[in-house]
Amino acid sequence: MASLSVALNLSTPRPSLLHSPSPPSLKFSPVHNTSRRLALFQLGIALPQTQLFNAEASKLLAAEGNTTKAATAGNITRESTSFTEVDAMDWVKNDNRRILHFVYSVGDLDKTIKFYTECMGMKLLRKRDIPEDRYTNAFLGYGPEESNVTVELTYNYGVNKYDIGTGFGHFGIAVEDVAKTVDLVKAKGGKVTREPGPVTNGSTVIAMIEDPNGYNFELLERGPTPEPLCQVMLRVGDLDRSINFYKKAFGMELLRKRDNPEYKYTNAIMGYGPEDKNAVLKLTYNYGVTEYDKGNGYTQIALSTDNVYKSAEAIKLFGGKIIREPGPLPGINTKITACLDPDGWKLVFVDNIDFLRELE
């Protein structure tokens, strides 16, 4: 599959423009031949979501939208999406949604693939090199993309390190024997940051390991599951606000919530089904902390929807910020929309039918 990154492609990492008095210029890559298969969900390689607030980036996104409209005029009719909050809540409740990809950038793709496959038991599902745009994508997971969540890794030529920031927490992997997995990681030269043991104030055995790029992975001891790639943890500044947003705009359920006053944090688990069978979003609120540095390594979550236009309207109604208006990507017909949640975390919705077509 060709990449969403054809819309916004950067060959070098960029600091957050919110903290840069003299932001670097952004450039568009040319639209590529439609025969290229989509390497989905990397809308802006090495581009942290905070950059999208920059005025210049906004102009470029607008230019991209104009290109899309011109290319598809007369061929695609945009649906009417004016509806009330009641309509939006009904739509979100009945939409066909699931988490598709966790997307982030890595500095050594081959080393990362080796670590994920040999230490964590993932499979390399596909790999795509785009030399003209100076990046490579690799998709790894525990099952086919049609049914399972995958990680989408992006290697940008010549970029060997990223700032992970303080907002991203970890990815979660369910394993049947945490101690055995930790021993394997150590034998392969991996870094263990928390030895196996019960979770704080609980009985679930966990451990923490670090991949070659500095991303943390929590190993959770569970029985067999259809989705071992089971969670991503992000830190938020207002937990109740985030829970409300993901309930209303994304149709997720609050599966559980636990306060840990001794350690001054609260966790909320959000998702589309039981966490022992589905990937979930783990939101963490640290007492008194309202803002985090998001870095430029972790990029976004990609999710499925039956209608990107209605999904975008729901996001707008319930407090999200649309950063890529819904519609087909330039040169192809895959429809997407991208947004920021109230904390600035980026998410992308992809049309279900278009997604399956691009996997063919």
Largest Cα–Cα distance in the chain? 61
Q: What is the DSSP string of 264-306?
A: TEEEEEEESS-TTTS-EEEEEEETT-------SSEEEEEEEES
Cα–Cα nearest to 306, from 89, 93, 97, 88: 97
Is 218 part of the annotated catalytic residue set?
A: yes
152 labelled as ligand-binding?
Answer: yes
Q: Across the strands, what pairs with 254?
A: 270
Give dist(CA 198, CA 200) in Å, integer. Answer: 6
Residue where the block lists tokens 């009641």: 86
Torsion of CA 183, 145, 7, 113, to 10 degrees: 20
> Judging by DSSP bridges, how do beta strands 168-175 and 191-198 pair with one another?
unpaired
Give dist(CA 194, CA 175) in Å, integer. Answer: 16
Please say whether the beta carbons of 136 and 197 come within 8 A.
no
Where would I find the H helices in the chain?
A: 55-72, 85-94, 109-119, 178-187, 239-248, 308-317, 352-358
Catalytic choice (145, 218, 221, 325): 218
CA distances, 200 to each of 180, 206, 264, 266, 284 (Å):
21, 10, 12, 12, 14
218 labelled as ligand-binding?
Answer: yes
291 labelled as ligand-binding?
Answer: no
Binding site members for Zn(2+): 152, 170, 218
Q: Which residues form the catalytic set?
A: 218
